[in-house]
Amino acid sequence: MTGSGLRYTGRFAPSPTGPLHAGSLAAALASWLDARAHGGRWLVRIEDVDTPRCVAGGGEFILQQLAACGLLPDAPPEWQSARTALYERALAQLIEQGDTYPCACSRKDIEDAQAALGHARERHAALPYPGTCRHGLHGRAGRSWRFHVANFKQKQVSALDYQAPIAINSVANELVHWQDRRLGSQVQDVAAAVGDFVLRRADGLWAYQLAVVVDDADQGITDVVRGEDLADNTPRQILLQQALGVPAPRYLHTPLVWGDNGEKLSKQNGAQALDLSNPLLALAQAAQVLGLPALEDARNRSLSDGLHAWAAAWRRNYNGDRD
């Protein structure tokens, strides 16, 4: 149970752009352990809205990998590609509220606008949107929809102590504040760091930020446990949660697995698919990344033994009693 009386519900939400690798297994294990440590439900959602990057059969293969590791969801998996009507309704609500606007800018337009301001794009980082279309398209055709960050913050000035059933977050003094269960107190100026972010892309596909907020709310997700590389998405998601009037989950961002080149292990970074000839060994390596103890007499332990032992260790590390 959660502090609000809601039953704990967690989720693992991989994108089917390739098989699970060591980094994604660590995230899957962490979210599964957190759900088990709290006596809650664990769901799997295949985030396949970015169709150009998805691999045919990738979602099914990921589910097979999870099953081989004993990580079985407590309900049939959900697929984002079947949830379009939910995203349509959410965007319509934001349009009606005046919290979003059409944008005609391409990526090059944004880079050119920022260059004119003397700003250069850092490696692996997107430039903040400068607000070019915020006050109209000036005869150009809209290509995407953006969330109006500054406009929403102005509407929230009288609600500095916004409290959802699961988490306490606030939007004040141009900043979004939130509490991470591992990283502690966090703050971001979304307008300066990101700008007005995309909700529906120029190619018609749904942006991650909108889809994940709508899905988490619809599925009753109380706790999000995911890799630390996704922590900077959280302030944008808090803004959308407040704009849509849905509860905010609690967040816990886990340590990352790093590649030999010093960069985060990822599919884009050449991460190899998991070797699951020995699932317990693969899970033991993921557990080590998460700071969990090694199994005693590991050669004679079953997969179930290992998961049970790590769930107990997780409960000690992250306090299974949420209150």
The owner of tokens 């929403």 is 152
Domains in the chain, ordered, with CATH? 1-82+257-323 (3.40.50.620), 83-214 (3.40.50.620)
pTM over cut 0.85: yes
Is the Cβ–Cβ distance between 250 and 167 less than 8 Å? yes
**Nearest partner of 322 among 34, 30, 14, judged by Cα:** 34
Q: List per-residue pLDDT tens for the chain, 323 residues long.
A: 554 557 899 999 999 999 999 899 999 999 999 999 999 999 999 999 999 999 999 999 999 999 999 999 999 999 999 999 999 999 999 999 999 999 999 888 888 877 776 655 554 456 789 889 998 998 888 899 999 998 876 665 333 333 343 344 555 556 899 999 999 999 999 999 999 999 999 999 999 999 999 999 999 999 999 999 999 999 999 999 999 999 999 999 999 886 555 555 555 555 567 889 999 999 999 999 999 998 887 777 899 999 999 999 999 988 754 43
For 278-294, give the DSSP string: SHHHHHHHHHHHTTPPP
The two three-digit tokens of residue 61, written as one number = 């293969």
pLDDT digits (tens, 9 = 90+) for 156-183: 533 333 334 334 455 555 689 999 999 9
